[in-house]
A = this chain, B = another copy of it.
């Protein structure tokens, strides 16, 4: 369904404008812009990972066009937590203006600073913690602790003359988290009593009934799997999941095993987390990979990346026997992670490979080795009832998640007309406690491919999908400008169409005849000749092969 694009009226003084730039209609590239009285605040700036219909794309960025010409008005970027879908696009934003201040917690800033270092950018940053209040031009920001699958996550309350907004970032409400840092419902209650005009909650698990299980419940499962493992244990998880890794370290200690961290991002992130005190590394439990060879197999746990079946990550390489650690009978592999939709085939390919090599594979389908980082419906209901927000704009989710979250809001008493189902680029104005949709911008996907940003377009991706499905046939000829006679070629090249090049022997005479007929009828124009070739070859592949490869005629005058 195409969206209807319309420009909002100019923003009046004292009105807060909210534009979700990314994260609505997708899980990823979260970014929201807030504007009042000529100043802009951004919350999060993440990337989206491509799916199978976007082949070859490395990353997808939010479309910065709503703020691109206003960068000097941006007072700062609040980063709610350190996950890629919330911080991953910061380097691309800072390429446009490198001195935009970044505001976030200690761990969040440490993670983005490490990433920016790779891009050779040193950011201006402002470290905040829960309870802090910062005035940024017309925005008063209050930071509130929330619990998520990475430590040190923050929600932010944004107070302006237009009203109070609560933007949760990603969160859940684990009541017994490993670091005792719970989502601060007292702060939510206080804000709610004072009046929240607009609430932007995480929608990821809004369609999941009930409550997310405790992270803490995973520890004993890991411990008992490791206790029974006759040989090596390999645990794969996300490289930023500090508490999951913490539980692996603790389970290793309980079983008198040493842990080797594997994979560049795992080593980097856990180094940061340990340095800052978020990961408590028991004395002597971590060892280098090269020291591990001196230990018996039943004294080792490898903590690795690749839980989503990424072909170049440690785990997939192990499954293909392309890694120095040769998986064999008796090894135990634990996928202590979610299975992100779309990755199923890749993950099962890795699992099949590991099992074939003799490993036992433990994953969330056969043991409780993962819990989500996002609030399920039951938790969101608590939030709505504590906050009693006037208006709700569900963010962070596909349409089905946003809709489910809106339904929860309505069921707790938020009037349906105050529940906004928006898309990326929807413009919402808040004034006097009333939130109104006032425009819809036309925002696109910005693809990163290699070193190019935004050069690959949807048209290129369409070409790629056709090339993938059908391959191509290119036909080159040079014709004499005067007579229209073929003087070089036809030279046919094809890829992805058929192994056997003899297949084109059948169409060659047809092409020559069609070109010579066209020349005899007075055709001299190269475009017209190209059309003749396209029609001839197209008809032939359709009738003879029932296929529709891309046909690329190249005719030049010589």
Footprint of B on A, CB under 8 Å? 1, 25, 51-53, 55-56, 207, 209, 320-321, 341-342, 344-345, 348, 351-353, 355-357, 361, 365-366, 398-400, 403, 449-452, 455-457, 459-461, 463-465, 467-472, 474, 476, 478, 487-489, 491, 493, 495-500, 503, 544-547, 550, 552, 554, 556, 558
Contact = CB atoms under 8 A, between A and B. Distances in A.
Copies of the protein in its oligomer: 2
13 contacts: A56-B468, A451-B545, A451-B546, A451-B547, A452-B546, A452-B547, A455-B503, A456-B498, A460-B499, A463-B496, A467-B472, A468-B468, A478-B488
B491 A357 contact: no
B495 A355 contact: no
A496 B460 contact: yes
A3 to B, nearest CB: 10
Given A207-B366, A345-B342, A355-B403, A495 B552 contact: yes
Contacts of A556: 488-489, 491
Contacts of A399: 352-353, 355-356
A456 B469 CA distance: 12
A1 B353 contact: yes
Given A449-B547, A450-B547, A558-B487, A348 B400 contact: yes
Contacts of A493: 474, 552, 554
Contacts of A345: 51-53, 341-342
Contacts of A1: 320-321, 353, 356-357
Instruction: Indicate the member of A456, A468, A488, A497 with the most B CB atoms within 10 Å.
Output: A468
A352 B25 contact: yes
Nearest to A343: B344
A481 to B, nearest CB: 12
> For the complex, would chain A's binding face be called helix, strand, loop or mixed by DSSP majority?
mixed
B550 A455 contact: no
A499 B456 contact: yes
Contacts of A496: 56, 460-461, 463-464, 467
A258 to B, nearest CB: 28
Which 3 A-B pairs have CB atoms at the shortest separation, nearest pair first?
A468-B468, A450-B546, A56-B469
Contact of A398 (B207, B348, B366, B488): B348
Given A1-B353, A352-B400, A355-B400, 9 more contacts: A55-B465, A352-B399, A355-B403, A451-B547, A455-B503, A459-B499, A461-B496, A464-B496, A476-B491
Contacts of A450: 545-547
A556 B475 CA distance: 13
Contacts of A552: 474, 493, 495
A393 to B, nearest CB: 16
A288 B321 CA distance: 57
Contacts of A463: 471, 495-496
A499 B455 contact: yes
A366 B207 CA distance: 8
Contacts of A495: 460, 463-464, 467, 472, 550, 552
